[in-house]
Amino acid sequence: MTQHVKMTLNGQPIEADIEPRLLLVHFIREVANLTGTHIGCDTTSCGACTVQINGVPSKSCTLFAVQMDGEEIRTVEGMEQNGALHPLQEGFYQEHGLQCGFCTPGMLMTAEAFLREHPAPTDDEIRQAIAGNLCRCTGYVNIVKAIQHAAKHIREEQAAPVATAEVTR
Amino acid sequence: MTTETTPIRGMGHSVKRKEDPRFLRGKGRYVDDIKLPGMLYMDIVRSPYAHANITRIDASKALALPGVLAVITGKDLDEAGLAWMPTLMGDKQMVLPVDRVVYQAQEVAAVIATERYIAADAITLIEVEYEPLPPVMDPFKALEADSPLVRPDREQKTNHIWHWEAGDAAQTDAIFQQAEVVVKQDLYIPRIHVSSIETCGCVASFDSVEGKLTVYMTTQAPHAIRTVFSLVTGIAEHKIRIVSPDIGGGFGGKVPVYPGYVIASVASLKTGHPVKWIEDRSENLQADSFARDYHISAELAATKDGAMQALRVKTLADHGAFDAAANPSKFPAGLFSVITGSYTLKAAHVEVDGVYTNKPSGGVAYRCSFRVTEAVHTIERMVDTLAQQLGLDPADVRMKNFIQPEAFPYTSPTGWEYDSGNYPAALRKAMEKIDYAGLRQEQAEKRARGELMGIGISTFTEIVGAGPSHTFDILGIKMFDSCEIRVHPTGSVIARIGVQSQGQGHETTFAQIVAEELGLPVENITVEHGDTDTAPYGLGTYASRSTPTAGAATAVAARKIREKARKIAAHLLEANVDDLEWQDYKFQVKGSPGRSVGMKEIAFAAYTNFPSDVEAGLEAVDYYDPPNLTFPFGAYICVVDIDRGTGQVKIRRFVAVDDCGNIINPMIVDGQIHGGLTMGMAPALMEAITYDENGNMQQGTFMEYLLPTAMETPVWETDKTITPSPHHPFGAKGVGESATVGAPPAIANAVVDALSHLGVTHIDIPITPWKVYAILEAHGVAEL
């Protein structure tokens, strides 16, 4: 038995006939073939599967894809715009905010939504915001720096619009 | 002649990582991202019991489910001689059991289906009848004469696996008999799990036309795995290709060969389709290999004024049901005998006994070079115990007993030759950075007000970079490592290495080594690894060995290229080879700096204009056998505040002064230390795996097994001293695990220090809030 779903994924419409029990993360990874969203724990603990649903960071390993009918989903693949990295991606690159890279897409999704609400956060506020995203490699120090790097860039950009960040190879 | 302006950015530059652009875009290629045409999915039935006979397996209902293609049991594997496989430690372990399970969550049968969800459905339809047996959970009871046997398949009818010792027992005992002061302490280093955020898995694909098996798998050691696969399956080694794609963290947990890899490979052979197997977190936490689980009893002999004289240590090592540790073959207890640490001792004697229990295999690393964390925790706790008993400052006791800088190379009482060190300089730097004297004053004032604040020190010595090959091997394969470099005509480079990154940034740091040695820009250098069809043979990345071994091989291979380049340069400059010197990344005629040629021009000439007595091309390979290990070290100081209302320990400051010799990329080294410190804090304060008496594992998800989040993790303060390794080609030492090894005792010492005025002398890790609160209550200082 399948059910028809239709949603927006990174700005593009997508529809499919799927089993009602199909997890959102499996829909994204295996139906839409966007493998940037990862699976780390299956229990909403680690945050590797974090995507944005209508702009709100959500853990896609414990949601069904059929619940997303009509919703707007955004994944890490939707961050780069016109060949330019998002300031957060640039910040993680500049500040060495990633090592194995497995938690990074989820971390970016959480941070992006957070900065929209908190454009000038303290380090403690950032740490609280990413507490649902586990990283085993970095010890978080450089992730906090990376998010501050991005926050500063976004604030400057909004104060005086300039060309977006140089494309990183 | 050259107008090269692109910067080289070799050694010492914080080059941004070449691997990041794909990870940041979600374009990494981890094993679960691989999708091959016709691919099937495997799921595994696991045992609910820690110890039981299997009396019946009925797969008929599962096989009747549409989409299920096969069910594989131990009996099927037994017919092919594959029900057991060798471990890296000379033991054997079950791939799938024929008639008996020996730990909870052990693999019992596998289902192969067309879809992931169908495979998951089918495992619930397989009926397995068990006859429970009494589980052996306590390693001490396991050694009692009437204990049930974990491994009746062995000739020796005991749960004792091996006895291992190092040092001089008689000399040590003699010093203890005469000693003015003896301090004793029992320590338990709990069982922990690496919990890389990516679990383990593979895609096995057998090409029946070519007769070739390709396995994409989460492994830190693809070449050794290929050899093991060939020996186990009988498939010729050139017909096996192991590919280690992007790895989402390893930390030692991805060194062993897990049954799932083998079963998936068999399933691909059997079905003729690629087969994917990916663990879920619960399987990963319950069944994959564990670290630590050492029950240690330590004694330290000293003089009344705090001069350390001898160390005596007895240890019971819980290895679970199979001795499937990932240590060099001759070292069943790893490098635990480095336990004399940074201190001069007249003698030491260390004993370890390995024991079987009904738990999954133990003895893999948790970001640690072969049991060094257990050793460092012991000696660093013992130094503090001595200081506390004698009423001395733990910093003073360390300074008094350090191996002095002029004493290197230093031979330890257990036989290790430390290559270089300057321990007093590192500790002084850490004490200044954190204002140690000021902290002691603050502590005295707070203590007078009833506040609980502690300061803990750890001045550890690491031992990393195995080989040398005369001492170190894994299953007989010597622990060298390798690099192959090809310089293309236009001066860009591909370097392939025998080690395998799991986040360490090898694509960047190894390119920097090549850039430094050849004088070519780091941007133009590609580093590849992890594919056994293309990379030179190597032993893989674990135990902080990549830079000491393959890093050295990379420099040596590049220097071989440079020697050939010298001949081509002489030809181009119309000079004598002996008149050329390598200066500022180019060959120049001695005394005539204007006459010079860089590697880019030389590379082009190597294919277009080479002298008649030189072969075309510009490439080299090196298999590097290190003359010794490297001995990185550090001085860590931790300040904690303890909440009397909750027992919670808060790390207020943590200063880490590390010395890993010469540094390739300071940004990456700091990142490694930040991560290592966090994985040091984790078992000190949070992580532990426990079992109930029936063998039920009690931390089966991340709801129970608590990894540090950004909230618990403090802002790590790092600094360096630099004492190059005298034997490494560019003076580097390993660094990936120093912080994991050094951090736990700094934290434990700080907590004990905070409570020492109450008479507390030791607390076993993890130092959880409830453990601390119980101590506060017992001493009447808890706040209600």
**Chain A (7-26) residues lying within 8 Å, Cβ to Cβ, of chain B:** 19, 21-22, 26
Paired tokens of B48: 């609910």
> With an 8 Å Cβ cutoff, is B665 touching chain A?
no
d(CA B368, nearest CA chain A) in Å: 14
Rounded Cα gap, residues B681 and B747, in angstroms: 7
In a domain, A169, yes or no: no
Q: Predicted confidence band at A168 (pLDDT cuts at 50, 70, 90)? A: very low
Of B477, B464, B629, B482, the C-alpha closest to B552 is B482
Share of chain A above pLDDT 90, in %: 93
Radius of gyration of chain A (CA): 16
**B565 or B2, higher pLDDT:** B565
Same domain, residue pair A74 and A103: no
Q: Is B46 a catalytic residue?
A: no
DSSP conformation class of B396: H
A11 class by beta-carbon count within 10 Å (0-12 exposed, 13-18 middle, 19+ buried)? exposed
- CATH classification of the domain holding A123: 1.10.150.120
SS percent in chain A: helix, strand, coil, step 5: 40, 15, 45
Q: Of A15, A50, A78, which one is at a domain's C-terminal end?
A: A78
In a domain, A168, yes or no: no
* B298 strand-pairing partners: B185, B313
Instruction: Select the residue of B24, B28, B502 nearest A85 (Cβ to Cβ).
Output: B24
E-strand spans in A10-141?
A: 12-18, 50-53, 56-59, 72-74
Instruction: Select the residue of A35, A76, A131 nearest B711 (Cβ to Cβ).
Output: A131
State whether B503 and A101 contact (CB < 8 Å): yes
Residues of B in Cβ contact (< 8 Å) with A35: 26, 30, 32-33
Q: Of A78, A105, A126, which one is at a domain's C-terminal end?
A: A78
Same domain, residue pair A14 and A58: yes
d(CA B759, nearest CA chain A) in Å: 33
Residues of A in Cβ contact (< 8 Å) with B707: 46, 134, 136
Same domain, residue pair A91 and A153: yes
In a domain, A36, yes or no: yes
Does the bond joining B135 to the residue before it have cis omega, within 30 degrees of 0? no
Contact B67, B118 (CB under 8 A): yes
State whether B25 and A130 contact (CB < 8 Å): no
| Cα–chain center distance at B61 | 43
Instruction: Kindly give, in sequence order, each residue whose CB lies less than 8 Å from that of residue B313, ignoring residues fewer than 6 positions away.
Output: B296, B297, B298, B299, B339, B348, B349, B350, B351, B378
> With an 8 Å Cβ cutoff, is B19 touching chain A?
yes
Same domain, residue pair A96 and A74: no
Of A124, A130, A104, the C-alpha closest to B715 is A124
Rounded Cα gap, residues B700 and B557, in angstroms: 46
Model confidence pLDDT, tens digit, residues B220-257: 999 999 998 998 888 999 999 999 999 999 999 999 99
Model confidence pLDDT, tens digit, residues A49-104: 999 999 999 999 999 999 999 999 999 999 999 999 999 999 999 999 999 999 99
SS3 annotation, B100-111 = EECCCCCEEEEE
In a domain, A167, yes or no: no
Rounded Cα gap, residues A34 and B26, in angstroms: 8
Instruction: Kindly give, in sequence order, each residue whose CB lies less than 8 Å from that of residue B286, ignoring residues fewer than 6 positions away.
Output: B46, B104, B105, B360, B697, B700
State whether A100 and B196 contact (CB < 8 Å): yes
pLDDT at B784: 82
Model confidence pLDDT, tens digit, residues B641-675: 999 999 999 999 999 999 999 999 999 999 999 99
What are the CA-CA distances from residue B395 to residues B180, B642, B738, B746, B758 (Å)? 21, 22, 20, 12, 21
Instruction: Kindly give, in sequence order, each residue whose CB lies less than 8 Å from that of residue A163, ignoring residues fewer than 6 positions away.
Output: none
Radius of gyration of chain B (CA): 28
Locate the chain B residue with the closest alpha carbon to A29: B33
Rounded Cα gap, residues B697 and B693, in angstroms: 10
Res. A161: pLDDT tops 80? no
SS3 annotation, B643-663 = CCCCCCEEEEEEEEEEECECC
Q: Where exactly does CATH 3.30.365.10 map onto chain B?
A: 20-27+481-624, 294-412+421-466+628-778
Same domain, residue pair A74 and A91: no
Query: Virtual CA dihedral for B66, B70, B74, B80, nearest 10 degrees?
Result: 170
Same domain, residue pair A31 and A74: yes
> With an 8 Å Cβ cutoff, is B329 touching chain A?
no
Q: What's the first-to-final CA gap in chain A, in angstroms?
A: 45
Rounded Cα gap, residues A135 and B198, in angstroms: 11
Rounded Cα gap, residues B311 and B238, in angstroms: 50
Choosing from B368, B483, B638, B660, the catalytic residue is: B368
Choosing from B9, B46, B367, B562, the catalytic residue is: B367
CB atoms within 10 A of CB B7: 12
State whether B28 and A21 contact (CB < 8 Å): no
Rounded (5°) CA angle B459-B341-B349 = 150
pLDDT at A120: 98
> With an 8 Å Cβ cutoff, is A167 touching chain B?
no
Rounded Cα gap, residues A24 and A34, in angstroms: 12
**Chain B (196-225) residues lying within 8 Å, Cβ to Cβ, of chain A:** 196-199
The mean pLDDT of chain B is: 97
d(CA B287, nearest CA chain A) in Å: 15
Residues of B in Cβ contact (< 8 Å) with A46: 197, 281, 702, 707
pLDDT at A163: 53
Amino acid in the structure at residue B687: E
Res. B1: pLDDT tops 70? no
CB atoms within 10 A of CB B68: 23
Rounded Cα gap, residues B339 and B377, in angstroms: 9
Choosing from B104, B106, B220, B286, the catalytic residue is: B220
Model confidence pLDDT, tens digit, residues B348-395: 999 999 999 999 999 888 998 899 999 999 999 999 999 999 999 999
Say how many CA atoms lie within 13 Å of B350 toward its Cβ.
Answer: 26
Q: Is B599 helix (H, G, I), strand (E, B) or coil?
A: helix
Paired tokens of B519: 């004088």
B753 class by beta-carbon count within 10 Å (0-12 exposed, 13-18 middle, 19+ buried)? buried
Q: Which CATH class is domain B294-412+421-466+628-778?
A: alpha beta
Q: How many CB pairs under 8 A join A and B?
A: 178
Rounded (5°) CA angle B94-B96-B101 = 75
pLDDT at B657: 98
Strands B52-58 and B68-73: unpaired
Res. B508: pLDDT tops 90? yes
Same domain, residue pair A94 and A135: yes
User: In chain B, how long is the greatest CA-to-CA distance?
Assistant: 88
Instruction: Kindly give, in sequence order, each residue whose CB lies less than 8 Å from that of residue B262, ignoring residues fewer than 6 positions away.
Output: B82, B85, B95, B229, B232
Q: Is B89 helix (H, G, I), strand (E, B) or coil?
A: coil
Q: Is B628 helix (H, G, I), strand (E, B) or coil?
A: coil
Share of chain B above pLDDT 90, in %: 97
Q: Is B737 a catalytic residue?
A: yes
Rounded (5°) CA angle B593-B598-B601 = 130
State whether A140 and B678 contact (CB < 8 Å): yes
* A23 strand-pairing partners: A64
> With an 8 Å Cβ cutoff, is A77 touching chain B?
yes
d(CA B277, nearest CA chain A) in Å: 14
* A53 strand-pairing partners: A56, A73
Q: Is B190 helix (H, G, I), strand (E, B) or coil?
A: coil
Rounded Cα gap, residues B164 and B261, in angstroms: 31
Our count of domains for chain A comes to: 2
**Chain A (136-165) residues lying within 8 Å, Cβ to Cβ, of chain B:** 136-144
What is B34-133+198-248+254-287's CATH number?
3.90.1170.50
| Residues constituting chain A | 169
**Chain B (116-175) residues lying within 8 Å, Cβ to Cβ, of chain A:** 116-117
- CATH classification of the domain holding A14: 3.10.20.30
In a domain, A166, yes or no: no
Residues of B in Cβ contact (< 8 Å) with A110: none
State whether A40 and B197 contact (CB < 8 Å): yes
Q: Where exactly does CATH 3.90.1170.50 map onto chain B?
A: 34-133+198-248+254-287
> With an 8 Å Cβ cutoff, is B526 touching chain A?
no
The owner of tokens 């590390």 is B658
**Chain B (272-301) residues lying within 8 Å, Cβ to Cβ, of chain A:** 280-282
**Chain B (694-713) residues lying within 8 Å, Cβ to Cβ, of chain A:** 701-703, 707, 709-711, 713
Q: What's the first-to-final CA gap in chain B, in angstroms?
A: 80
Same domain, residue pair A135 and A105: yes
Rounded Cα gap, residues B380 and B458, in angstroms: 6
In a domain, A27, yes or no: yes
Contact B353, B389 (CB under 8 A): no
Same domain, residue pair A48 and A111: no
d(CA B103, nearest CA chain A) in Å: 22
The domain B20-27+481-624 is classified under which CATH number: 3.90.1170.40, 3.20.20.140, 3.30.70.260, 3.30.365.10?
Answer: 3.30.365.10
* Axis-axis angle for helices A141-159, B666-685 (nearest 10): 120
State whether A102 and B713 contact (CB < 8 Å): no
Locate the chain B residue with the closest alpha carbon to A93: B20
Of B589, B541, B670, B558, the C-alpha closest to B10 is B558
DSSP secondary structure of B284-339: HHHHS--B--EEEEEEEEE-TT--EEEEEEEEEEE-TTS----S-TT-TTTTGGGG
DSSP secondary structure of B121-187: HHHTT-EEEEEE------HHHHTSTTPPPS-TTSSS-SSEEEEEEEE-HHHHHHHHHH-SEEEEEEE
What is the average per-residue pLDDT within B290-306?
98
Q: Which helix (DSSP H) or strand (DSSP E) does residue A159 occupy?
A: helix A141-159
Paired tokens of A14: 């997508």
d(CA B667, nearest CA chain A) in Å: 7
What is the average per-residue pLDDT within B268-285?
98
Sign of torsion, CA A118 A119 A121 A123?
Answer: positive
**Chain A (82-101) residues lying within 8 Å, Cβ to Cβ, of chain B:** 85, 89, 92-94, 96, 98-101
Question: H helices of B368-417, where?
Answer: 372-390, 394-401
Domain around A37: 3-78
Strand ranges of the sheet holding B493-497, from the earlier edge strand across to the other edge: B525-529, B493-497, B481-487, B619-624
Q: Of A36, A52, A78, which one is at a domain's C-terminal end?
A: A78
